[in-house]
Amino acid sequence: MPSIVKPMVTHPGLERNALGLSIRDYEGGMSTLCAGCGHDSVTAAITHALWESGTPPHMIAKLSGIGCSAKTAAYFARGAHGFNGCHGRMPPIATGASAANRDLLCIGISGDGDSLSIGLGHLAHLVRRNVRMVYVIENNGVYGLTKGQFSASADVGSTTKRGEANHLQPIDPIFLGLSVGATFLARGFSGDKRQLVPIFRAAMAHRGLAIIDVISPCVTFNDHEGSTKSYLFTRQHDVQMTVTDFVPPAEEISATIPDEGVVSIPMHDGATLRFRTVPDGYDPTDRMAVIEHLLSARGRGEIVTGLLYIDEQSSDLHELGNTTYRPLTQVPYDKLCPGSAALAGVGFR
Amino acid sequence: MAAEHFENSRSKVNDFALKLANVNGTGSSSANNLLMRSIFRMGVPVSGKNLFPSNIQGLPTWYEIRVNRDGHVARAREYDLMVAMNGQTYARDIAEVAGGGFTMYDSSWPLGRDLIREDVTYLGVPLAEMCNDEFRGPRERILMKNIACAGALVAMLGIDMNVIAQLLTEQFAGKDRLRESNQRALRLGHDFATQHFEYPLPCRIEAMDATQGSILIDGNTAAALGCVFAGATVAAWYPITPSTSLMDAFAKYCAKFRRDPETGRNNYLVLQAEDELAAIGMVLGASWAGARAFTSTSGPGISLMQELLGMGYYAEIPAVVFDVQRVGPSTGMPTRVQQADILVCAYASHGDTKHVLLFPASPAECFAMAANAFDLADRFQTPVFVLSDLDIGMNDWVSPALEWDDAYVPDRGRVLDAGELRELEVYHRYEPADAESVAARTLPGVSELGAYFTRGSGHTIEGAYTEYPEEYQAVLDRLARKHTAVAEHIPAPVVDDHAHAPLGIVTLGSCELAVLEAVELLAKRDIAADYMRVRGFPFGAAVRAFLEAHETIVVVEQNRDGQLRTLLTLETPVPKEKLRSVLAYGGYPLSAEDVVDGVTKIQEA
């Protein structure tokens, strides 16, 4: 199959990151999604955040399930291994990869069908295990590859292109996460890369599972009047609940940003999250308060975006498992095999 | 005591079967173990099979002990001694006593007239009465009733009281009060028996030295140890009978052997998954990232894993799956044994798939085949199934002490490191393939030069997406060749063809002991038979040669449909009509008599 090859021309003046790599080094194959697909914007934001973070591409592991979203794992970080698994099963596959090699930066790309229908159970348990990874849900309310059926995130009353309305209650991954103990929850809009990039940076630095639900309109099957996941509807109802800067460990906090009213949250690796804009009384570390704010926003019909909840204190998979700091894949065999002498006490004699 | 029972008494020494019928949840298993272990300690070949219900308390449970000086300890179908302690099952239990045999029962209550058989001797021991007088509290009375019963059996079977005392001392080290009450209960039963019955019975134990150098171990424990020794670091599972004790044992031995003494941190991670789909997903993810990873499950779990097993096959990701088989279909009988997952594992998942199977016959093979399985999975980059079963997995077997070759080096297969990648002009995931049709893989976290996109969708030899027939088929055809290449790496079949008979009996797994005994019994009936136990799939030249060399082949296995027979007809050139089946699939372990009856019927037809 003649895959679509991306031209590899890099402008010499392109900015370099700490590793001396330009953003082109974090790109992947050419997208085969529809022109204008929200997912391509999400890919661009992830690419940018990865480049900014200075992660060596080979230390990234890209994982996905099945669907339009799943394809996008091929469209960034060509220097990273990718795993396009089975429908809904990316969370356990990512759990295994992270269990084996804790040094990998695992980026999971999923969709609303993958995460909220066929793989909902896996997602809930991924949250409970607090597997250290970035988990992106490219959420468009429809099944694109099978041509426009409602997904589990479709709002009540939202219509298909033919005008049929959805009557089933939607599953909101943010509320799901809050109810089962998620430690990082954000929502973005594919149309707002400026908001997405710092959220992805923070997610990559988070010690634990970072879920980013990105409203990412499907231009072909769910961008019409009557859809609540269209570009227009999302723009009209998007309310940025929080605006967050991600300040990496080494950088000093810029003096141009006023400190007044800013909530700063230190991250585990020394970075800082600065919540510049938050509503009165909103504490992104207070689960109950966040739930209250989100519920009342939902009552007002708002699509709330921003980094909504963060918990840097909880243990992740490897802390809970008391696993060695060295990736299990790198523990030499002589440390794994107890040797024949250990068999002396085995069995009843 | 009828004197005629003693006439033939020599023949029953170290050659008999007894069955203990109990109610589950009453603590009978520790008394059962005590008996089985004491016979083992007296150097006599023995087996103990636990026929337990899928229940925690209140349903019938049996424990069968077979003693045989020649090592024939497959399940017996008739019992020389029935210990009938469960009123619910009296009728069924007493019906299973061999003519001229004995029934021991709790004579605190009278036995119904309808339960009296003329050809059976009844030994009434007032266990409840004795224990109610001797012990306080309902729990202790119930527990000690079992031990008192064991005491009576010790007397009747001629078991050495010193051996029993030593076992109690070991079992209750540091728990003097418990040891003392057990000792007292044991003595209670023992003294009653010696005062009221002629003892020992004709079916009795005399010390031998046939268990020297042997151990008692169950297959799940042995398999778990095998995984520890083979270097497995990630294990993912979902609890399911009868495989649960495998992962319990893995966690236990890892806690013992795999905690870094300097850091106190674990060189392993056990993940209890949300379901079997997740368990196999975790295994594939971990193997893809470079760990040796495995799961343990049973039939229903295998059904749930199908989709990802197909992905492991097609994307060429190692995985080791222990399937401790139980009775299907559906939920089936979770605490009964069958070998009915052969075909579902051989061809797991939709599309054209073929997998690698290993068939251990004993705990020792469970241990050894763990390393085989990881080596094959890594070398051929594919899922490998170890098809154990409930009988091997959960019962204690007399086994040669486990042996490990310290010179063992894991065969991790073709995995390119950063240096090797730098020397390549370009890396492609699925080419070039070696003589065994295996292409080198790379691991994440090593080098950008080895990066590729693993996919279950149609792919080219470069690993890129395709929908073109010739590109898709190039990969699929190589997978078929690769599967064929595995055959000569499968442990060779165990063959005994010294009879040079036209009849060959083929079997697998836990059928072994029953079939070997049957071959001897058949020889006494002038039916000579050669023997082959296959130890894995795909089948190699030795399997084909045995099938070719015999006029009639009888395949003995524990399922309804003759699954091994089907696999042999599909995957070797043997003519279908040459293969006949002897099948046992009611859920109890196979008996030699089942095989003798089946083969005789075929020979007479």
> Which of A100, A129, A338 lies closest to B228 in CB terms?
A338
- Locate the domains of chain A by residue range: 37-312
Report the run of H or E that residue B181 belongs to, with start and end: helix B176-196
Q: Do B311 and A331 touch (CB under 8 A)?
A: no
Query: CB of B443 within 8 Å of any CB in chain A?
Result: yes
Contact B408, B371 (CB under 8 A): yes
Q: Do B281 and A348 touch (CB under 8 A)?
A: no
Contact B67, B79 (CB under 8 A): no
**pLDDT surpasses 60 at A1:** no
Query: CB of B407 within 8 Å of any CB in chain A?
Result: no
Q: Give domain B494-604's CATH architecture.
A: 3-Layer(aba) Sandwich (3.40)
Query: CB of A145 within 8 Å of any CB in chain B?
Result: no
Query: CB of B289 within 8 Å of any CB in chain A?
Result: yes
What is the distance in angstroms between the Cα of B560 and the nearest Cα belonging to chain A? 33
Helix (H, G, I), strand (E, B) or coil at A151: coil
Q: Do B445 and A122 touch (CB under 8 A)?
A: no
* Per-residue pLDDT at B3: 43
Residues B276-319 pLDDT 10s: 999 999 999 999 999 999 999 999 999 999 999 999 999 999 99
ipTM of the predicted assembly exceeds 0.90: yes
Distance between CA atoms of B415 and B578, rounded to whole angstroms?
Answer: 44
Helix (H, G, I), strand (E, B) or coil at B5: helix
SS3 content of chain B, % helix, strand, coil (to 5): 45, 20, 35
Considering only CB atoms, which chain A residues are within 8 Å of B283?
A: 96
Burial code of B242-260, b = ≥16 C-beta within 10 A, e = fewer?
bbbbbbbbbbebbeebbbe
Contact B497, B546 (CB under 8 A): yes
* Per-residue pLDDT at B128: 95
Residue of B254, B259, B271 to mutate, testing the A interface (most A Cβ within 10 Å of its Cβ): B271
What is the distance in angstroms between the Cα of A108 and the nearest Cα belonging to chain B? 12
Topology given in CATH for the domain delimited by A37-312: Rossmann fold (3.40.50)
What's the pLDDT band for A11 if we cut at 50, 70, 90?
confident
Residue of A33, A76, A81, A90 to mutate, testing the B interface (most B Cβ within 10 Å of its Cβ): A81
What's the pLDDT band for A13 if we cut at 50, 70, 90?
confident
* Per-residue pLDDT at B163: 97
Q: How many residues does chain A have?
A: 349
- Taking one residue from A and the other from B, the number of pairs with CB-CB distance under 8 angstroms is 238
Considering only CB atoms, which chain A residues are within 8 Å of B350?
A: none
Q: Do A61 and B289 touch (CB under 8 A)?
A: yes
What number of other Cβ atoms are within 10 A of residue A312's Cβ? 17
Question: Which two structure tokens, joined as six digits, stand for B214?
Answer: 């042997």
Query: CB of B451 within 8 Å of any CB in chain A?
Result: yes
What's the pLDDT band for B5 if we cut at 50, 70, 90?
very low
Considering only CB atoms, which chain B residues are within 8 Å of A347?
A: 215-217, 221, 399, 401-402
Residues A76-121 pLDDT 10s: 999 999 999 999 999 999 999 999 999 999 999 999 999 999 999 9
> Which of B265, B406, B448 lies closest to A323 in CB terms?
B265
Considering only CB atoms, which chain B residues are within 8 Å of A321?
A: 266, 269-270
Residues A316-346 pLDDT 10s: 999 999 999 999 999 999 999 999 999 999 9
Q: Do B454 and A82 touch (CB under 8 A)?
A: yes
What number of other Cβ atoms are within 10 A of residue B583's Cβ? 19
Query: CB of B257 within 8 Å of any CB in chain A?
Result: yes
Residues B185-194 pLDDT 10s: 999 999 999 9
**pLDDT surpasses 60 at B528:** yes
* Per-residue pLDDT at A262: 80
Query: CB of A340 within 8 Å of any CB in chain B?
Result: yes
SS3 content of chain A, % helix, strand, coil (to 5): 35, 20, 45
Residue of B225, B275, B349, B448 to mutate, testing the A interface (most A Cβ within 10 Å of its Cβ): B448
Q: Please state which CATH class domain B4-196 belongs to.
A: alpha beta
Residue whose entry in the numeric block shows the structure tokens 């007894």? B18
* Per-residue pLDDT at B27: 84
* Per-residue pLDDT at B6: 44
What is the distance in angstroms between the Cα of A275 and the nearest Cα belonging to chain B? 33
Considering only CB atoms, which chain A residues are within 8 Å of B465?
A: 1, 3
Residues of chain B with CATH 3.40.920.10: 4-196
Residue A219 DSSP one-character state: T
Q: Do B399 and A347 touch (CB under 8 A)?
A: yes
Which CATH superfamily, name and number, covers B217-400? Thiamin diphosphate (ThDP)-binding fold, Pyr/PP domains (3.40.50.970)
Q: Do A328 and B281 touch (CB under 8 A)?
A: no
Question: Which two structure tokens, joined as six digits, stand for B317?
Answer: 């990701």
Q: Which of residues 301 through 340 in chain B touch A, CB cutoff 8 A?
A: 307-308, 311
Considering only CB atoms, which chain B residues are within 8 Å of A343?
A: 225, 401-404
Residues A33-44 pLDDT 10s: 999 999 999 999
Distance between CA atoms of B584 and B597, rounded to whole angstroms?
Answer: 11
Contact B456, B476 (CB under 8 A): no
The arrangement of strands across the sheet holding A105-111 comes to A238-240, A303-310, A184-189, A209-215, A133-139, A105-111, A60-64, A81-84, B453-455
Q: Do A58 and B448 touch (CB under 8 A)?
A: yes
Determine the distance from the C-alpha atom of residue B569 to the mean position of all C-alpha atoms in its chain, rounded to a whole number: 25
